[in-house]
């Protein structure tokens, strides 16, 4: 096992949930950084907290688990470590919204998968804003 990957996920939902948590950890760090910079330049922090943040996730199981209230779990997720559920209580106060994204609209596939030409062109147009 590498140093980057400290645990092995047993289910796809668990792997997707861990990926969501990792991205949320980075997002919360960026939010704190922006608030710090705003305070340093004399900007009101209320202007910074009005930023609309939306996170898109393809895996429905991970998305449903993330949207549950903090003490609730699903039958399959009750075995996940408690270290994975910390961010759910931060979604509401920080006004972070989670949305499901369809597989055909997943822009990240351009960089991570070999896609067919028509799919590539469609995703490229979406990415470029055409």
d(CA 126, CA 79): 38
Q: Helix or strand or coil: residue 23?
A: helix
Cβ count within 10 A of residue 46 = 8
- Between 28 and 92, name the one with better pLDDT: 28
Whether pLDDT at 45 is above 80: no
d(CA 66, CA 79): 15
d(CA 62, CA 100): 10
Q: Residue 59 is encoded by which pair of tokens? A: 């895996």
Band (pLDDT 50/70/90 cuts) for residue 96 is confident
Whether pLDDT at 127 is above 80: yes
Whether pLDDT at 75 is above 70: no
d(CA 33, CA 30): 5
* Confidence (pLDDT) at 5: 64
């Amino acid at each position: 096992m590498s140093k980057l990957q400290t645990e092995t996920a047993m289910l796809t939902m668990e792997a997707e949930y861990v990926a969501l948590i990792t991205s949320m950890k980075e997002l919360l760090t960026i939010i704190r950084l922006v608030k710090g910079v705003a305070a340093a330049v004399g900007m009101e922090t209320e202007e910074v907290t009005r930023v609309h943040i939306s996170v898109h996730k393809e895996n429905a199981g991970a998305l449903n688990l993330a949207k549950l209230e903090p003490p609730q779990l699903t039958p399959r997720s009750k075995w996940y470590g408690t270290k994975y559920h910390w961010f759910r209580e931060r979604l509401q106060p920080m006004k972070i919204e989670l949305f499901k994204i369809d597989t055909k609209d997943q822009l990240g596939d351009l960089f991570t998968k070999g896609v067919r030409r028509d799919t590539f062109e469609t995703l490229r147009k979406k990415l470029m804003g055409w």
